[in-house]
Amino acid sequence: MRKVVVTGMGVISPIGNSIEDFTRSLKEGKSGVSRLTAFDTSDFEVKIAAEVRDFDPSRWIDKKDARKMARFTQFAAAAADQALEQAGLLVRNSEGRRRVTSDPDRTGVVLGNGIGGFEIVSESFKKLFAAGPRRMPPLTIPMMIGNEAAGNISMIYGTRGPAFTQITACASGTDALGQALDLIRSGRCDVIIAGGSESCMVPFGIGGFQMLKTLSVKRNDEPEKASRPFDKDRDGFVLGEGAGILVLESEDHARARGALCLAELAGYGVSADAYHITSPDPSGAGGGRAIAGAIRDAGLGPEDIQYYNAHGTSTEINDPSETRMIKTAFGDHAYKLKVSSIKSMTGHCVAGSGGMEAIACVLAIRQGFFPPTINLDDPDPECDLDYVPNKVQYGTINAAASGNLGFGGHNGVVVFRKH
């Protein structure tokens, strides 16, 4: 079976718009949560979010292209450009366009997205109801649909292999990486641009999650303290946005061109809870099966994993059920694991989380650090593992796993190992 390696990474996030800034923020335990600026929150109970700041898409993509993209697509395209640049797979053609240097017919794009272009939907509905259909923007449909990011990246960089979108809510980014792994292993592709992207910072998005009673509302006056996974005083997640993109290649392809292999994507596990449309199975059985499947797929045992990047949303139901999920999969080794949730810093970026958290695992393996779970001041008694509270820790990491759980009972887990 072909080995699959990571050769490039790119990120647009609430804690940094480059791999360097993202890494520094993870080590410093920097919160990306602040007062929401995207719109007037006077009528909203929720007034905080983890927004992407100082984002200018023209740094990475053509201005004309960017104007035809929803925000989540701009994030994905910018992060993809960073990842392809690091991988050494870009060249300019005679027209000045950047194109991949790999065989375009064997280069694909697999992205995760949960919701699509929410701001496009919102603005188009306003114009429809105020002035009728003739006032709707002509590109409403192609800009709002979830597959827009994968299609645009394919067109920008001239890739002609598979280009599609995985939609499993908050597990979408992780499942996209798993689908890419399988495509390369099978021999269908040599290179895949994979990860996840999301942006829901509009009244419709915040309002919808607020009505589900899933968002934090207790700390509007101290937003940096609001996302507190596994803490007894948590009261919901903080909505974030952004994208995490990885360039994946077959090991043979990467070696043939002399590429630096950052880590091996070694395993993928997936399962469904078959329990509830928004809540995870409180027993943790479904997620435990996904973890066990990913470790087995990687050819490893539970004791071979040193770090687990948790879904860790900071909600009342998720955190204890995820703790049970980890114990189900790892047994006694669960108490020897380092477990943390970077959502304490980035907020919950929905499909973008899977890509960002996979990148955090690769960085952890390469640089030997365990990202902290910030704001963990008083652990929930039901959450009794080592969650790396508040400050970064250092140590050798040979293998790390990252799991995400999505509305609908979707569980996805990937395993990375040192290359």
Closest CA to 266 of 395, 402, 132: 402
In the residue annotation, 419 being an active-site residue is answered as no
- Marked catalytic residue, from 348, 383, 410, 419: 348
Amino acid found at 158: G
Amino acid found at 240: G
Amino acid found at 323: T
* CA–CA distance, 308 with 25 (Å, rounded to integer): 19
146 is written with which tokens? 């979830």
Query: For the chain, how far is it from start to end, CA to CA, in angstroms?
Result: 16
- 36: Cα within 13 Å, side-chain hemisphere: 29
Per-residue exposure over 355-376, b if at least 16 CB sit within 10 Å of its own CB, e if not: bbbbbbbbbbbbeebbbbbbbb
- CA angle 115/4/114 to nearest 5° reads 5
In the residue annotation, 349 being an active-site residue is answered as no
* CA–CA distance, 287 with 179 (Å, rounded to integer): 18
In the residue annotation, 311 being an active-site residue is answered as yes
* CA–CA distance, 9 with 82 (Å, rounded to integer): 7
- Marked catalytic residue, from 311, 349, 383, 410: 311
- Are the CB atoms for 333 and 225 separated by under 8 Å? no
Which residue is listed with tokens 């992780």?
174
DSSP for 326-342 reads: HHHHHGGGGGTSEEE-T
What DSSP state is assigned to residue 277?
Answer: S
Give me the active site residues, please: 170, 311, 348
